[in-house]
Amino acid sequence: MLTKCGRRAAEVGLVMRLHFALIFAAVALTGCGAQARSASDSDTVRVGVTVRAGNLDPHDYAGQFYVQDLLFEGLVKYERDGEIGPSLAESWEISEDGKTYTFTLREGVAFSDGTPLNATAVEWNFKRWAGKDDTEWLGVSRVFAAMKVEDPRTFVLKLKQPYPPTLQELGYVRPVRMLSPKSVDAHGLYATPVGTGPWVLDHSDRNGSSLNRNERYWGTKPAHSRLELDVIPDAQTRLSALRAGDVDVIGGEFTAPLSPRNALALKNASNVKLVNETGTGTLVLGFNEAKAPFDDQRLRSAVNQVIDRKTIAKALYLGYGEPAGNLFPESVPFAGARHEIPPVDKAAAAQLVKAAGYGEPDKPLRITLLSSEDAIPGGRAMAEVIQSALKEIGIQVNVRLVDHATRHKEIAERAYDLAFYATYAAPYDPYGSFGAVFDSRTEIGVDGKIFMDSRRLDPLIDTAFAATGDAREPAFERIYTFLREQDAFVPLVYTQRIWAHGENLETLELPATEYELPVR
């Protein structure tokens, strides 16, 4: 059985708060902007970002993910389509009972300060987070039992019970990546960001960060010798800087979001190339099934039948989003069998509303849709589309637009009828979303719950989390089947990842997740 995961919600909830920042309006802030570059800058890649890097301690939760990813590496890494590949560990073995993981480290790897990356250094890092109260959200930390250094290249991790998502969680950006044991002060407190990654931090302030290529790096070294992260909070200023060649890259959900409208504006620019693909997150319309009226499945079904996902994707996402028929896009592991976008059937939906005992003028159904531009930018426009659609089947929607803090409070209290959610995306899903916003036994927290059923859904989640090998896919499929049979939510849109680059880069290959920069 899963336990409380407040820190999980705090960590992966960043996706809920930021995941759809690329959808609509530009950030209404001003910044100093990028400085004009000279010809001598050809060996430097400049990336326009929205905020400063912050505290880069890989065992903390304050800094920017994508900067930490440049500096620090884990034992394994999350790859495209959910595969787990080697990183600092070149190989590993899992015991037959699933409780012991034996990692063989790469030979000759060192931190950028020259400290050897050996099993003792790995043990030192694990001691900073494994089994701690504030990492309870991380399943591998909850089930952590012990660890052992067998020899300089062999690190053994022991668990209290089998936990199949272990390797996936060890591929997260934090708190599982390796910090040099020499980068703390005399009290063991974090002092400076020293890792084994391809880049080394030169300096960082409110205007941005500079990084140099790590000449000690064990893998393929970056093609460029320097990386500049220029803080440019205003979206239009970033677009202008890219067109002018003052920055080389903008985009990404957490780096410098490109709205679909801005992407269209760049599409025909002669010196700019767009790179986009379907991401790993989904925008979802959730019901509060715990109370009337949406404790009645007929009304949930009615809403599912009247919302036109294809029109939403075309009109609001301008082609940079795909109508969703599933909880997760195919890019998420164990995402389930694909289902067609349900056709809009207003007549059938209206009949369901009447069958549930509602309908104008005798008994109007009035509900509240909770939305926040801070949490999901574009929520106002999306809410108006939903409002218009439901009006046609006799449901009157009051759109309640609130700030970020109010949404967190009300969604935790389930003080709404309808609300927008975002799935957690790679590298967290499918485990992250099911553990945090579907399991009734985990605390509700600031991200709320999309749907709960302690008697029928929770056991299905337990089975899927415990499944290994060929049993995983059918175990997750049973969850999807149950949720679909219950009309548990309305999947709306799979959003796209959108990046743009200038002529200083020939190509831009998108990494596995939006927590990484496509610059290596």
Mean pLDDT of 481-494: 97
Last residue of a domain, which of 150, 183, 216?
183
Q: Are residues 305 and 409 in the same domain?
A: yes
- Give residue 27's pLDDT: 33
pLDDT of residue 31: 42
Q: What is the mean pLDDT of residues 412-424?
A: 94
Which residue shows structure tokens 């985009």? 251
Element (H, E) at 482: helix 472-485
Q: Which of 95-109, 267-281, 321-335, 471-485 has the lowest mean pLDDT?
A: 267-281
Q: Does the structure show a pLDDT above 50 at 516?
A: yes
Work out the average pLDDT over 416-444: 93
More confident residue, 320 or 117: 117
Digit-coded pLDDT (tens) for 185-222 = 999 999 999 999 999 999 999 999 999 999 999 999 99
Minimal CA–CA distance to 514: which of 378, 369, 331? 331
* pLDDT at residue 324, rounded to an integer: 96
Quote the number of domains for the chain. 2
Length, in residues, of the chain: 520
Rounded percentage of the chain residues whose pLDDT exceeds 90: 79
Mean pLDDT for 214-236 is 95
Q: Of the residues 129, 159, 183, which one is the last residue of a structural domain?
A: 183
Q: Are residues 164 and 294 in the same domain?
A: no
431 and 289 inside one domain: yes
Average pLDDT over residues 34-60: 81
φ/ψ of 313, rounded to 5, equals -65, -40
Mean pLDDT of all residues belonging to the chain:
90
Same domain? 289 vs 179? no
DSSP letter string over 7-40?
HHHHHHHHHHHHTTTTSSPPP------PPPP-GG
Integer Cα distance of 30 and 47 in angstroms: 17
The per-residue pLDDT for 418 is 98
- pLDDT of 18 above 80: no
Which segment of 187-196, 260-269, 289-298 scores lowest on mean pLDDT?
A: 260-269
Confidence of residue 290 (pLDDT cuts 50, 70, 90): very high
pLDDT band, residue 7 (cuts 50/70/90): very low
| CATH code of residue 480 | 3.10.105.10
User: How confident is residue 60, by pLDDT bands cut at 50, 70 and 90?
Assistant: very high
128 lies in some domain? yes
Both 331 and 458 in a single domain?
yes
* Domain containing residue 108: CATH number: 3.40.190.10
With respect to residue 467, please indicate whether it lies within any of the assigned structural domains: yes
Give the separation between CA 434 and CA 480, rounded to whole angstroms. Answer: 11
Is 53 a domain residue?
Answer: no
Amino acid at 509: E
Burial of 309 (0-12, 13-18, 19+ CB in 10 A): buried
Q: Which of 101, 212, 190, 92 is nearest to 146 (CA)?
A: 101
Question: Is 87 part of any domain?
Answer: yes
153, 183, 213: which is the final residue of a domain?
Answer: 183
Question: What pLDDT is stored for residue 375 in this prediction?
Answer: 75
d(CA 305, CA 287): 14
pTM for the whole structure: 0.86
Domain that residue 118 falls in: 72-183
325 found inside a domain? yes
Instruction: State whether 165 and 292 are in the same domain.
Output: no
Residue 40 has pLDDT above 90, yes or no: no
The answer as to whether 353 is a domain residue is yes
How crowded is the C-beta side of 144, counted as CA atoms within 13 Å? 25
Residue 224 lies in a domain: no
Examine the pLDDT at 120 and tell me if it is beyond 50: yes
Higher pLDDT pick, 285 / 520: 285
How many separate helices (H) and strands (E) can be counted in the chain? Answer: 15, 17
Q: Please name the amino acid found at residue 203.
A: H
Mean pLDDT along residues 155-179? 96
- The number of beta carbons lying within 10 Å of the beta carbon of residue 424 is 31
Residue 208: inside a domain: no
